[in-house]
Structure 1
Amino acid sequence: MEIRWLEDFIALARTRHFSRAADEQNVTQPTFSRRIKLLEEEMGVTLINRQTLPLSLTPAGEEFLTLCQQVTERVRLTRDRVREISAGQQRRIMLAAPQSLLAHFMPEWLAAQGGQDSIQPYLRATAWVAGDYFQALARAECDLALCYWPIERCDLDIDTSKCRYRVVGEERLIPVTACDNNGAPRNLLPGKRSAPLPWLAYPERGLLGSALKAHLTRMPINTYLNTQSENLFAANIKELVVLGYGMSWLPERCVQAELSNGALIRAGDKRWDVPLEIRLYRHQVQQHTDLDAFWNALPTYSLPHR
C-alpha cells in the first residue's frame, strides 16, 4: 500500500467524483480508478458505494477515511521535521501539554528553565487524552510531553515503559463550586443519598478522571454525586462550575483567580484534594543535541508533601 493511495482516497471522499478527484491528483481517471480498486483489494473490503450519485462511502470507507487522514498528517509532519534536520536547521523542541498546564504552568516554568527560545508548545496536543501523548512521543510527533500524574495508587492503562520522566512540579485537584446568595457553597461534599450533588465530571478513561475515581474509592465515607456531563478539559468544566451548573474537581492553579475573587469556593476540605505530580516525559529513542542539553540541565524537584 502506498501513501499516494491514501491521498487518492481522501480526494475521492472530498469530491465524491472520480474525474474531479483524478484531476486533483494529477492523474488520468483510469489510473486513479485502478489505484482506488487496488486499495480496496488491499483492504479486502468495499470502500466506495458506486451505485449512488454522488458517490458515497460505505461504513468501512468512513472508518478508513479517518485512518487515511491520520496517517497522511503524520507523514506530512515527519517529512517536515526530517527536512529541517537534513537542511541543518536548528530544530526547536516540541512540547505537548494539556491546555490547563499550557496556560497555568508552562509559561512560568519555561521562564525558570530559560527554555522560551528553544521550546515550542505543540498546540495539537491540547485535545489529546493521556495515552495520546505517549503515542506521539513514540512516533516522534513531539519531543517532550508535560502531564499530570497521580501520586496515589491508580490503575492507568498507559504504557510508559519506553519513556523516561522528570518530576517538574506538583498540583492538586480541589473540589470547587459556585456560591449561593449568602456566600456559602452551593454544593458541599459528601452530598446526601437523597440529594446527590450535581457533578461535572472527567471521563474515567482520562488521567484526571482515573485519579479522582481512585481517590474517592479510598475515602472512608460515601460520596453522593450525580453526573451532569463529562468533559476532558478543565477549562470547559470550570466555566460550567462558575455558571452554577454543579461542582467539580479542578487543578488548583486553574481556579486561583476565581477563589480569590469569590466566583468559586471550595466544596470540601483538604481530605477531598487529589495530589498530583507534574511530569515531563521523553521517549528513550528520540535523541538530538538540543533536547539532550535541555533535559540534562533540568534541576531535581522534590515534592514538599513527600
Structure 2
Amino acid sequence: MEIRWLEDFIALARTRHFSRAADEQNVTQPTFSRRIKLLEEEMGATLVNRQTLPLSLTPAGEEFLQLCEQVTDRVRLTRERIQRLTEEQARRVLIAAPQSLLSHLLPDWLRTLGLEELVVPYLRATSWLLADYFQALERNECDLALCYWPVERCELDLDTSAFHYRIIGEERLVPLSVADDVGRPRFLLPGSRRSPLPLMAYHPRGLLSSAIAAHLARQPEASHFNIVNESIQTTNVKELVGLGYGVGWLPQRVAQKALDDGHLVRAGEARWDVPLEIRLYRHRNRQHSGLEALWDRLDHMEMPLSSLSSLPGASS
C-alpha cells in the first residue's frame, strides 16, 4: 500500500467522482480506479458504494477515510520537519580547531558574533597537526579551520594558495615554569650547556614547535634544552609544566588562570614570548549559504580579538 493510494482515496471522498478525483491526482481514470480497487482488496472490504450518484463511502470506507487522513497528515508533518532539518544542516558550518582554541576562544567568539547555532565544532580535529586542517578543507571534511599562525618569519612546508583566511585574533606563546620556594621560576631561560632546561616540547612537525624554534633562533642569546616530552596538545604541556617537570611555552589564554593563581610563573622575559595570529581559513571553492553568511560577518568585524590582559613580567 502506497501513500499516494491513500491520497487518492481522500480525493475520491472529497469529489465523490472518479473522473474529477483522477484529474486532481494527475492520473488517468482507469489507473485511478485500479488503485481504489487495490485498496479495497488490501483492506478486504468494499470502501466505495458505486451505485449511488454521486457515489458514497460505505461504513468501512468512512472508517478507512479517517485512517487515510491521519496517516497522510503525519507523513506531511514529518516531511516538513525533515525538510527543515535538512535545510538547517545544509546551512551549518563545520569548524576544525585545536583543543586550546576550542576551549579558550571559540565559544566566546561565536557568542560575540551570534553564531552559536550556525557553527559546529568538528571534534575529530582537536589533535590534528597543521597540515591536517588544510587537507580536511581540501576534501570538504570541514568548512573552516581555526589555527595559530606565526607572526614572525617561519618556514612552513605548506601550500595555502587554495585558501582564503581572516585574522580573528592575536595570541602569544609564553615560556612558563612552576615557582620555587621564593616565587621565582624553578626553570629560568635560557639555560646553559652544562645545565640545559628540561623542555615540554610540541610535536616537531607542528606549527607551535616551528614557531618557537624560529623565534629562539633570532635571539641574541642561545637557549639550551633537553627535550623530555613532545605533545600535540597544549593541555598536556600545561599539565607537565604544572607538575614541575620542566619549562614549556603555552598560549596566554591557556595559561592565564594558572598565572593568576600563582601556580605558574614566567620562565623568562617578554623577549622569549612568541607572537601568533589566530587565523580562520576556508577553501576558495567551498561555498554554501551558512559559510557565506559567516564570512560576510567577518568582513564587517572591527578589530581582531586580542589576547588576554598582560601577563606578569610582560614588560620586562
CA contact (8 A) 1:178 1:263 kept: yes
* Residues 85 and 179 of structure 1, relative CA distance in 2, 3 Å threshold: same
Distance 1:226 1:119 in 2: 41
User: Does 1:107 find its partner at 2:100?
Assistant: no
Listed as ranges, the matches of 1:167-206 within 5 Å are: 167-206=167-206
- Residue by residue, what CA displacement relative to the aligned partner does 1:143-168 show, whole Å, maximum 9, x if unpaired? 00000000000000112110000000
Amino acid of the residue matched to residue 169 of structure 1? G
Distance 2:261 2:85 in 1: 52
State the match for 1:235 in structure 2. 235
Kindly report structure 1 stretches of 4+ aligned residues shifted beyond 3 Å: 83-90, 300-305
Unpaired stretches in structure 2, ≥5 consecutive residues: 1-81, 308-316
State the match for 2:303 in structure 1. 301
- Residue by residue, what CA displacement relative to the aligned partner does 1:86-122 show, whole Å, maximum 9, x if unpaired? 9545331100000000001111111111110100000
Distance 1:285 1:84 in 2: 26
- Residue by residue, what CA displacement relative to the aligned partner does 1:209-231 show, whole Å, maximum 9, x if unpaired? 00000000111111011111111
Report sequence identity in percent: 54
User: Does 1:138 find its partner at 2:127?
Assistant: no
Query: TM (normalized to structure 2)?
Result: 0.68
Distance 2:186 2:102 in 1: 30
SS in 1 for 2:161: coil
Instruction: After TM superposition, give the deviation of residue 301 of structure 1 in Å.
Output: 3.3
State the match for 2:253 in structure 1. 253
Unpaired stretches in structure 1, ≥5 consecutive residues: 1-82
SS in 1 for 2:89: coil
Instruction: After TM superposition, give the deviation of residue 203 of structure 1 in Å.
Output: 2.0
State the match for 1:290 in structure 2. 290
SS in 2 for 1:292: helix
Instruction: After TM superposition, give the deviation of residue 260 of structure 1 in Å.
Output: 0.5
CA contact (8 A) 1:237 1:248 kept: yes
CA contact (8 A) 1:176 1:250 kept: yes
Asked which structure has the greater CA Rg, the reply is 2
Instruction: After TM superposition, give the deviation of residue 180 of structure 1 in Å.
Output: 1.2
SS in 1 for 2:146: strand
CA contact (8 A) 1:167 1:301 kept: no
Query: TM (normalized to structure 1)?
Result: 0.70
CA contact (8 A) 1:147 1:280 kept: yes
* Residues 85 and 95 of structure 1, relative CA distance in 2, 3 Å threshold: farther
Number of residue pairs the alignment of both structures matches: 223
